[in-house]
């Protein structure tokens, strides 16, 4: 049954309350959450299973809403004008006051944004009145869903609402183009052909897609790291270190990922706390052991990357 105006209003309310909503776009169904709510974003990663903090696309109802979240130079603006609403996601620098959770950006200072073309998606985004992050609504390792039935089969018990918008007309994910320093790059092939993008820009663009990348998934993101050194699995801080705990605050710890030892809360806090502690100018952050289950696997993965020896600039 195609979603009614009433279904959409209820779904928007669920989003505002921090719940997950699966909704149709013209590419594939998305697993949506309030992009400004750290905990809701953390729940998206948990719901995907075998979670990894890959950065998520923020969906908005209009280009004007997009311009509040990201810095759009002339080329980004040209692509937005040409292809939005539509199956194109643009990676741009976050604005200084970008309200999207740092967890959704996986700690990067860039953000992927898309205005989808599906009427149900646009109505939902307008009603929610805020950006909505949405990875494809498939459990990890399964193909992306192009009908509401696909979503119900795999994720029904993990979402508050599944909005039905029929079969997705495009059926493959959006094309992802990065517009950071160094010029446009194609990060993922998708619904908008590369040639159409190059035609708008008036020049060819290099591809840095998974297949073209030499070192496999995650490589692109390994440059995220705080300025401070990280010392992992630390039971307590040494002199001069800041301590990022897991569980109740110790006398020596000014920060904790989750006072109650909750991994969803810890994920929600991870990147924000690393930023906050880094901003104090401390030379080393000692991080408590984090249990390696549920979202703990993704948390430990990001911590390991952040602690890895830095590549020379």
**Binding region for ligand TXA (CB under 6 A):** 25, 27-28, 30, 54-57, 89, 91, 105, 108, 110-112, 114, 116, 134-136, 173-174, 176, 178, 187-188
CA distances from 308 to 125, 222, 238, 241 (A): 38, 9, 20, 18
| DSSP annotation string for 243-293 | EEESSSPPTT-SEES-TT--HHHHHHHHHHHHHHHHHTT-SEEEE----SS
Contact by Cβ (8 Å): 33, 48: no
Q: Which does 105 bind (CB under 5 to 8 A by kind): ligand TXA, Mg ion, none?
A: ligand TXA
* Residue that is written with structure tokens 């493959």 in the block: 172
CA distance 305 to 302: 5
**Residue closest to Mg ion (Cβ):** 136
CA distance 271 to 111: 14
Q: Is residue 105 within the footprint of Mg ion (CB under 5 A)?
A: no
Q: Which CB sits closer to ligand TXA, 105 or 269?
A: 105
Q: Which CB sits closer to Mg ion, 89 or 136?
A: 136
Region from 10-18, 126-134, 135-143, 226-234 binding Mg ion, contact rule CB under 5 A: 135-143
Chain centroid offset of residue 96 CA: 18
Q: Which does 176 bind (CB under 5 to 8 A by kind): ligand TXA, Mg ion, none?
A: ligand TXA
Q: Which CB sits closer to Mg ion, 31 or 306?
A: 31
* Residue that is written with structure tokens 């989003």 in the block: 15
CA distances from 185 to 107, 180, 214, 259 (A): 20, 8, 16, 41
Which tokens sit at 66?
A: 């997009």
**Minimum CB distance to ligand TXA, residue 308 (Å):** 19
Looking at 25, 27, 105, 136, which residue binds Mg ion (CB under 5 A)? 136
**Minimum CB distance to ligand TXA, residue 214 (Å):** 16
**Minimum CB distance to ligand TXA, residue 41 (Å):** 12
Q: Which CB sits closer to Mg ion, 175 or 256?
A: 175
78 CB-near residues (< 8 Å, 6+ apart):
200, 201
**Minimum CB distance to ligand TXA, residue 277 (Å):** 22
157 CB-near residues (< 8 Å, 6+ apart):
none
**Minimum CB distance to ligand TXA, residue 26 (Å):** 8
**Minimum CB distance to ligand TXA, residue 12 (Å):** 17
Q: Which CB sits closer to ligand TXA, 176 or 288?
A: 176
Q: Which CB sits closer to ligand TXA, 82 or 232?
A: 82
Q: Which CB sits closer to ligand TXA, 50 or 292?
A: 50
* Residue that is written with structure tokens 């149900």 in the block: 120
**Minimum CB distance to ligand TXA, residue 125 (Å):** 11
**Residues in contact with Mg ion, shown as a per-residue x/- string from 189 to 208 under the rule CB under 5 A:** --------------------
CA distance 116 to 125: 10
**Minimum CB distance to ligand TXA, residue 207 (Å):** 13
- CA-nearest of 209, 201, 151 to 175 is 209
- Positions touching Mg ion (CB under 5 A) are 136
């Amino acid at each position: 049954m195609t979603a009614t105006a009433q279904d959409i209003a209820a779904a928007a309310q669920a989003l505002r309350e921090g719940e997950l909503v699966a909704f149709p776009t013209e590419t594939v169904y998305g697993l949506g959450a309030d992009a400004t709510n750290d905990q809701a974003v953390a729940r998206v990663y948990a719901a995907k299973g075998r979670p990894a903090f890959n950065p998520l696309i923020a969906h908005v109802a209009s280009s004007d809403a997009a311009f509040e979240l990201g810095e759009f130079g002339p080329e980004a603006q040209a692509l937005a004008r040409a292809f939005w609403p539509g199956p194109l996601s643009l990676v741009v620098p976050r604005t200084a006051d970008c309200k999207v959770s740092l967890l959704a950006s996986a700690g990067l200072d860039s953000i992927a944004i898309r205005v989808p073309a599906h009427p149900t998606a646009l109505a939902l985004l307008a009603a929610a009145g805020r950006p909505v992050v949405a990875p494809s609504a498939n459990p990890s390792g399964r193909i992306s869903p192009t009908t509401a039935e696909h979503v119900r089969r795999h994720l029904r018990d993990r979402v508050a609402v599944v909005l039905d918008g029929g079969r997705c007309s495009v059926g493959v994910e959006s094309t992802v183009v990065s517009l950071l320093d160094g010029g446009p790059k194609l990060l993922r092939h998708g619904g908008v052909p590369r040639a159409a993008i190059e035609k708008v820009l008036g020049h060819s663009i290099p591809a840095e897609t998974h297949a073209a990348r030499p070192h496999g998934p995650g490589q692109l993101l390994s440059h995220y790291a705080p300025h401070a050194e990280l010392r992992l699995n630390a039971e307590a801080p040494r002199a001069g270190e800041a301590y990022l705990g897991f569980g109740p605050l110790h006398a020596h710890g000014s920060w904790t990922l989750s006072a109650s030892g909750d991994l969803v809360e810890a994920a929600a806090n991870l990147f924000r706390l690393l930023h906050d502690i880094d901003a104090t100018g401390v030379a080393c952050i000692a991080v408590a052991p984090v249990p390696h289950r549920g979202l703990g696997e993704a948390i430990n993965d990001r911590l390991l990357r952040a602690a890895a020896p830095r590549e020379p600039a």
